[in-house]
Structure 1
């Protein structure tokens, strides 16, 4: 049986310069920490529903983190194979 690996993501949400900001930190066994950031702001014509701003900022932070992880993986593949990877997103 293979040993289980674990990665975790910690998400912090705050207000910063009139915007909702989310910071997603990825922690993994032997993996360098990565941080993604997402911002959301209320459109003046929209209703003020703070949970929606939180969700949008978190989604953007996770998307940023995801893109960083894909780029890091592509660099790792190229370092090992010496061939530029073609990763499907």
Structure 2
């Protein structure tokens, strides 16, 4: 069975007052998901925007990846597959954009 798909991905990055925020959106044609994250520069560290971008974007992509896996596991379960035991919790130390 052959399958080809094209998903549209958009990435947004912004920095304000030593805090970088990232949002990555994926549109699969049948589903839309958005990953969020942020990175803060510690007061004692040199402010290098590229580092904040890399951290925030990497974390947002990980967040999106976890959502994609949850969606796939839900689809699998709806088809009768057993529940996945893999932990889908984010790593400790992640900054929760929704809580700030």
Taking structure 1 as the reference length, what is the TM-score of the superposition?
0.83
- Provide the aligned length of Structure 1 versus Structure 2: 88
Q: Secondary structure at the match of 2:79?
A: helix
Q: Which 5+ residue runs of structure 1 have no aligned equivalent?
A: none
2:9 match: secondary structure: strand
What aligned pairs does 1:58-73 form with structure 2 within 5 A after superposition?
A: 58-73=57-72
Stretches of 4+ aligned residues off by more than 6 angstroms: none
Instruction: Calculate the TM-score normalised by the size of structure 2.
Output: 0.75
Using a 3 Å threshold, how does the CA distance of structure 1 residues 60 and 78 change in structure 2: closer, same or farther? same
Is the Cα–Cα contact under 8 Å of residues 13 and 54 in structure 1 kept in the other structure? Answer: yes
Q: Is there any run of 5+ residues in structure 2 with no aligned partner, and where? A: 89-100
CA-based RMSD: 2.3
